[in-house]
Amino acid sequence: MRGPTLVVIPARLASTRLPGKVLKPLGGRPVVEWCRRAALRAAVGPVVVATDSPEVLRAVESFGGSAVLTSPDCHSGTDRVYAALQAVERARRRRFAFVLNLQGDEPFIRPKTVLGTAALLWKGAAMSTAVIPMEDPSDAENPSVVKVALTGEGRCLYFSRAGIPFFSRAHAASDGAAPRVRHIGIYGFSRKTLERFIRLPPSPLEKAESLEQLRALEAGIPITAFLAHEKTMAIDTAADLRRARMMIHG
């Protein structure tokens, strides 16, 4: 059953490989603004950008968006999302049953993917995310591309920067083996799951892979994936930004 849903876009200004990436211009507007507009078009609920930077806040507000300042001491994007949730609820005197965490560096995510991720929560999933088929074979060995092992019903078994699943013989994918899929930077939480998640300490696998979602799996929190079919990419490096600009200019 559909319930009150908040979309939070964590947008930290500092980033290791491409500082200030959320404010980098892309087709006349910042990267984060592309994400915000996709979330708005999905029409699942209010959309707010959560940032530690007044510069990001001003940029979002200049486009008519809503943003909140969160502490620079937030340890993760999910901690920032929870802080924003609390701030929005205090300001609006409204309680949300579901929360989407849409990464601020996913400018090409489609509204139907945001909606599909939210719909899994409304149908009872504790936590949800989105994946797309991995079309470029070189992505299997690219640690910047997060791979996901799924069951046939869409339950996430594992996330890795390594190439999973491993095909034990040539052309295994065409012989009924599980297809390779890659992760898109969006997570959905029921409120109960989010409140549990932020209390959990970072887990061993999370620290090994630098993938926060592994904390949930290690704690026994199931994650269900929405299979999207779109051409998308996260902006992690200067090379990614160049490719994104080429994409929008044809």
Per-residue model confidence (pLDDT) at position 177: 62
| Contact between 117 and 186 (Cβ < 8 Å) | yes
Contacts of residue 90, defined as CB under 8 A and 6 or more positions apart, other chains included, come to none
C-alpha span between 103 and 170 (Å, rounded) = 36
Residues 6+ apart with CB under 8 A from 19: 13
User: Cα-flanking dihedrals φ and ψ of residue 24, to 5°?
Assistant: -65, 135
* DSSP characters over the chain: ----EEEEEE--S--SSSTTGGGSEETTEEHHHHHHHHHHHHTSS-EEEEES-HHHHHHHHHTT--EEE--TT--SHHHHHHHHHHHHHHHHT---SEEEEE-TT-TT--HHHHHHHHHHHHTT-SEEEEEEE---GGGGG-TTSPEEEE-TTSBEEEEESS--SPPSSTTGGGGTPPPPEEEEEEEEEEHHHHHHHTTSPPPHHHHHHT-THHHHHHTT--EEEEE---------SHHHHHHHHHHHT-
Cα 110 to chain centroid distance, Å, stands at 12
Q: Mind listing the pLDDT tens digit of every residue in the chain (250 residues)?
A: 789 999 999 998 877 778 899 999 999 999 999 999 999 999 999 999 999 999 999 999 999 999 999 988 878 889 999 999 999 999 999 999 999 999 999 999 999 999 999 999 999 999 999 999 998 888 888 898 999 999 999 999 999 999 998 877 655 555 556 778 999 999 999 999 999 999 999 999 999 999 999 999 999 999 999 999 888 888 989 999 999 999 887 6
Contact criterion met (CB below 8 Å) for 39 and 102: yes
Tokens describing residue 152? 């046939």
> What tokens does 165 get?
């699943």
